[in-house]
Amino acid sequence: MQEAGYDPARLPPGQYLTDKWPVLHAGSVPRTELASWTFGVFGEVENELELTLEQFNELPRTDNVQDIHCVTRWSKFDMTFSGVHWRDVAALARPKPSARFCIAHAEQGFTANVPLRYLEDEHALLATHANDEPLAPEHGWPLRLVIPGKYFWKSAKWLRGIELLDHDQPGFWERYGYHNDADPWKEQRYGF
């Protein structure tokens, strides 16, 4: 596929461009009961949080546009995500100076690990919307992490919490041999 204004420099090596947003995940799409849904922040923080969806949605909102890249070799340009930036959650949780890494905890025991600085990136989001629509269940509704510039498995679907740690700890896919850094520009798909 080649769109008007297509810039091949935006496509990491080994990737192909798609205009669709393919659906890929391990297991089934979880059923979410909004009445009991919560999002938590815990670990290396001064103030552990547990927010209902209503409380989460009262936090300041932000939007950004970014390209996404899947380890299965597809890329999609100009995805618009809307949600809450980590800085607004961090202001409530108050991370300790020892916090350097985070584990995204999602439904069905799925986890994704990233250095805290990835979550602090200006374009990282705790996203509720994609392309001006609420996230579809198969794309992580009601909340997914969006980590820019990394293969999309680092952007955990069905997010339920963020744990801050003083050390790195492999996530679900990393335990199965995926690369810890997940840089699509370096084709860091598998292995450390």
Whether the model clears a pTM of 0.85, i.e. scores above it, the answer is yes
pLDDT digits (tens, 9 = 90+) for 4-14: 456 788 999 99
pLDDT digits (tens, 9 = 90+) for 118-149: 999 999 999 999 999 999 999 999 999 999 99
3 state SS of 151: strand
Residue 36 backbone dihedrals phi, psi, to 5 degrees? -110, 0
Non-local CB neighbours of 117 within 8 Å, separated by 6+ positions = none
- For residues 26 and 80, what is the distance between their CA atoms, to the nearest angstrom? 24
